[in-house]
Structure 1
Amino acid sequence: MTDSQQALERLREGNRRFVNHLRSAEVLISQLRRGELVKGQKPFAIVLGCSDSRVPAEIVFDQGLGDLFVIRVAGNIVAPSQIGSVEFAAEALGPRLVVVMGHTLCSAIDATLEAIEKPSAPRSPNLLSIVDRIRPSIEGLVHTELAEDRQRLMQAAVRANVRASVSHLKHGSRILERMVLEDGLRVVGAEYSLETGEVDFFDL
């Protein structure tokens, strides 16, 4: 089994290849393993990321078939279905690293800031279900000096939202909390830069 530190280093190495426009030979031939994967999967990490089309985890980390268990939802929010997906993967498949990955210029964060600033504007109830999960972690930022600088506000909001999702996974599930305390499971935050392609892991 790959431990959390080994998994983290593997993701970092893969991201370095991606930034430098390289591909791992193992990734390039991973399609040849498709038949082997019919029998089962052993991903080395779980990634909860945003649905944004510019942030596909397998490509950003230069990984192949069967390497990552990826959950994607707008705004990388944590709702019961996401918690259940992480619980399943951690218990049944064995990875010991969970990465919650947000990204710069996130439209879900921007939509939430707009909902805070213009609460009377009409919005879809389904969109509000996402906004309402992000709002508690970033609403306080709107009432600080960050509100005077939209770029800095967005940067702070993206990270605050990631940290909230990390905390929710660590403390919103008895299964995951036990695995963190007893089984070496690690849940970390990360931010992908659309501008550079780099992933910054934080609060390790």
Structure 2
Amino acid sequence: MSASSPVATPRAALDALVAGNRRFAAGTPAHPHQTADHRRLLEGGQAPYAVVLGCSDSRASVELLFDQGFGDVFVVRNAGHVMGRSGTAQASIEFAVAELGVKVVYVLGHQSCGAIAATVAHLVDGAPLPGAMNILVDLTRGHLDPEDPARDAVARHVAGTVRDLLTESPIVAEAVERGDVLIAGGWYGLEDGLVHPVEAALPA
């Protein structure tokens, strides 16, 4: 097994992410796999154990909040952790599953997400979004409560994104069905530093 792939099963991969986040939240990060020697081990290739679709928000750095290092996590980020019309986010996740052999696909939202807040504001009062940002509304609104868009908006969007992945990506869905990959989701609390799980996924 590659030095950058310390886990062998989907459940162990998810447990490794959770354990790393708990270290981070407790203020006792291990900063694994960040030495010059480990960096050089990865010169010939990568074998991350997880792929995370997260938000681009500068307060939600995936590697930091999961206490991971070089080669551990394949990260896909955009505003509001949306799948995107271009297909690049989905393709990136599929690459991690099919080509890199990750064991877990994780959809990560976060507290006080500006992209989701803008979507809620648009749905409630029609507040316009400039430029191409209306795509964020289009790709998020279907996950929210139509009667009360603000209610559990981040968690609902995480759950909806997990469902979208399973519906739109045969590569991900089939890997989950085979038990090769576990798909999960959660939201990161800016106040407590913890990633709170969202019940949105199929068991491994």
TM-score by length of 2: 0.88
Structure 2 Cα separation of the partners of residues 43 and 50 of structure 1: 19
Alpha-carbon distance, 1:34 to partner: 1.6
Q: 2:199 matched to 1:194?
A: no
2:90 match = 83
Identity of aligned residues (%): 35
Structure 1 Cα separation of the partners of residues 159 and 175 of structure 2: 19
Structure 2 Cα separation of the partners of residues 163 and 125 of structure 1: 27
AA aligned opposite 2:24? F
Cα RMSD over matched residues? 1.7
Structure 2 Cα separation of the partners of residues 175 and 63 of structure 1: 26
Unaligned runs of at least 5 residues, structure 1: 144-152
2:4 match = none
Alpha-carbon distance, 1:139 to partner: 4.7
Unaligned runs of at least 5 residues, structure 2: 1-6
What is the total number of aligned residue pairs between the two structures? Answer: 192
AA aligned opposite 2:102? P
Alpha-carbon distance, 1:97 to partner: 0.4
TM-score by length of 1: 0.88
1:148 match = none
Change (3 A) 1:106 1:35: same
Structure 2 Cα separation of the partners of residues 36 and 136 of structure 1: 44
Please give the secondary structure, in 2, of the residue aligned with 1:140.
coil
Alpha-carbon distance, 1:2 to partner: 2.1
Structure 1 Cα separation of the partners of residues 172 and 190 of structure 2: 30
Contact kept? 2:159, 2:198, Cα under 8 Å: no
Name whichever structure is richer in helix by fraction: 1
1:38 match = 43
Structure 2 Cα separation of the partners of residues 77 and 199 of structure 1: 18
